[in-house]
A and B are shown apart, each in its own frame.
Chain A
Amino acid sequence: MSRRAPRRGRQWARDLAVLLALGLYAVPYFWQVLTSIKPEAELLVLPPLLPSHMTWEHYQAVLRQSLIPRALGNSLGVACLTTVLALSLGVLAGYALARLPVPGKGLILLGIVAGSAFPQIATVSPLYLLMRGLGLRDTWTALVVANASFALPLVIWLLAGFIREIPEDLEQAAALDGASRAQVFRYVLLPLVAPGVASSALLTFLFSWNEFLFAYTFTATEASRTVPVALALFPGIFEVPWGDIAAASILASLPPILLVAGLQRYLIRGLLAGALRE
């Protein structure tokens, strides 16, 4: 017992040291935030580290004169539709694999695991030809279909796992009370598996928001270009507009950062469940 008091002090010091170390680790991002509010004239001068005053000029330039606002809208639309599509297909498939006697289940599960290891670079050329053939180049549809299918194996796997964790008793009781299978699914199972659905939706949204290869290949104009593509193609006339790029990248990273900060629990749960698939 006599060791308790100094230990508490040490615990605080230790916790603080870990927080400081992680704060240092995040410095690249904070530096980008600082760059985005530095006056243009001070960007290429180092030291001093801190700007003489804050400015919103870079954000104004990005929001008024660049294609970033349009790209943010495209990214948001594509990511939301991708999430809705992947989740509606994934919940049904996950339920079937977890609860129903499907023929060839082992083979389907194996195929789904293999599918989640598929490299995008291997399918991008045929998908490009497919999208071109269907007249879908430079549309949201092409991105939503490609992203949703790419996310689908992980989503099915996660949801099948989450559904298996829920005891079957409640569903059986509801079925005995005369509820149809659709009613059991809708009113008993879906509310119980909601946290798992949230985890899967979060991972799908983040994947789609961050996706670059498909978006870079299938889009051609601002009609469908997503934020990562717009950022990669960010124009500079005479020199690289570092301040504007910093402001644009902060805007591009806001949605994922807010989601991760707000839904940390669901994210961690989804990541762990996704990694423990065997």
Chain B
Amino acid sequence: MTARERAARRVGVLYLAPALTALLVVTVYPGLWVLWLSFQQRVPIFGIDRFDGIANYAFLFSDPRFWSALRITLVFTLVSVALEVVLGVAVALGLWRQRFGRRLALGLLLLAWALPAVVTAKMFEWLYHPAAGLVNFVLGGHPFNWLGDPALALPGLIAADVWRTMPFVALLCYARLLGIPAEMYEAAEVDGAGRAAIFRLITLPMLRRILLIAALFRTLDSLRAFDLMFVLTRGGPAGTTETLTVYAYRSLFQTLQLGFGSAIGVVVFALVMLVAWAYLFAQRREEAAS
């Protein structure tokens, strides 16, 4: 190694140090600490603070509220992401050939994405108002109690989430579509391919990769989502919208069981990592196959 290279290395370490220190203190250290907390019984108001092994996890395993929250989290994630992908592709196909008012169209699309989730929650709470809400008015005046009826709350929550995050999927697909060479379509038209065939044989395969990426990011975000359900439905009615994150938050800061709540947080973390790992694994296998 020459003196120059050594100097470059030194500068590199120097430049990286502040950022890595921040990440170590505020992400890695709490990440390990939460694991440690999850093995403890910690209820500060009763002065309880002891190591308890895997007791929290053992309790979770037999806790119906945990299984319900897990199921709701998975249903919320799967349905939201599926709807976002379908609607996102549809919107991207609409926007793609836009010539007039493209900036305005993108602006209208990104509006929903830019809003704070709490604002979206407050907006939908008002839209869903049983007597004076716009949703019931549009549906012909039925007094559906969207957020109070156990059968309607989760669909209502999912609709709000799809509204909020579909633009992200649409934008990624739109950008990908702009990158498809026009010659591919011209050639297909010359060969007499119909619209459905063109969509199935050209557009969809070209979108495949970006759709997988968009779906991955949306899945990770849905598993971690908290603000929307915490403000819009508060996990209710009767726990029908209580996701793992809401259950974790309540255990941590409302019933003040720091150890138990941390264990649920660790489960969310494990779920997120599992999905990310499965994606990377599938992608590697695909690359090896091609």
Contacts and interface: CB of A to CB of B under 8 A. Distances in A.
The answer to whether A and B assemble together is yes
Interface stretch (B55-63, B97-105, B149-157, B199-207): B97-105
A245 B224 contact: no
B112 A29 contact: yes
Interface residues of A, number: 94
B109 A102 contact: no
B245 A100 contact: no
A228 to B, nearest CB: 4
Contact of A22 (B105, B213, B226): B105
Contacts of B264: 121
Contact of A256 (B23, B106, B115): B115
Interface string A147-174: 0111011001000000000000000000
B194 interface: no
A181 interface: yes
A92 B27 contact: no
Contacts of B111: 26, 29, 257, 260
Contacts, number: 270
A264 B175 CA distance: 14
Overall SS of chain B's interface: helix
A81 interface: no
B5 interface: yes
Instruction: Sort chain B's interface into a size bin.
Output: 35 or more
A109 to B, nearest CB: 11
Nearest to B5: A101
A45 B134 CA distance: 11
B181 to A, nearest CB: 19
A121 B30 contact: no
Given A153-B23, A271-B168, A123 B34 contact: yes
A9 interface: no
Given A119-B268, A212-B227, A232-B231, A264 B117 contact: no
Given A14-B97, A95-B15, A148-B22, A26 B108 contact: yes
B268 A92 contact: no
A126 B268 contact: no
B38 to A, nearest CB: 9
A253 interface: yes
Contacts of B118: 210, 212, 228-229, 231-232, 252
A197 interface: no
B82 interface: no
Interface in B156-173: 163, 168, 171-172
Interface string A105-118: 00010011011011
A260 B9 contact: no
A130 interface: yes
B132 A272 contact: no
A55 interface: no
B124 A28 contact: yes
B70 interface: no
Nearest to A153: B23
A232 B125 CA distance: 12
B114 interface: yes
Interface in B104-154: 104-119, 121-124, 126-127, 129, 131-134, 137
Chain A facing B: main interface SS:
helix
Contacts of A249: 119, 122-123
B190 interface: no
A133 to B, nearest CB: 11
B233 interface: no
A35 B112 contact: no
24 contacts: A26-B111, A26-B112, A96-B13, A101-B8, A118-B27, A118-B272, A119-B272, A123-B26, A123-B265, A124-B265, A125-B34, A125-B258, A125-B262, A145-B22, A149-B23, A149-B27, A212-B118, A212-B226, A253-B114, A257-B111, A271-B172, A272-B171, A272-B172, A275-B217
Interface of B: 5, 8-9, 11-13, 15-16, 18-20, 22-23, 25-27, 29-31, 33-34, 37, 91, 94-95, 97-101, 103-119, 121-124, 126-127, 129, 131-134, 137, 163, 168, 171-172, 175, 210, 213-214, 217, 220, 223-224, 226-227, 230-231, 244-245, 248-249, 252-253, 258, 261-262, 264-266, 268-269, 272-273, 276, 283
The 4 closest A-B pairs by CB, nearest first: A100-B12, A149-B26, A93-B19, A126-B30
Given A228-B117, A272-B175, 14 more contacts: A11-B99, A22-B105, A28-B134, A46-B134, A93-B19, A114-B276, A121-B244, A130-B30, A145-B26, A228-B118, A249-B123, A256-B116, A260-B107, A275-B214
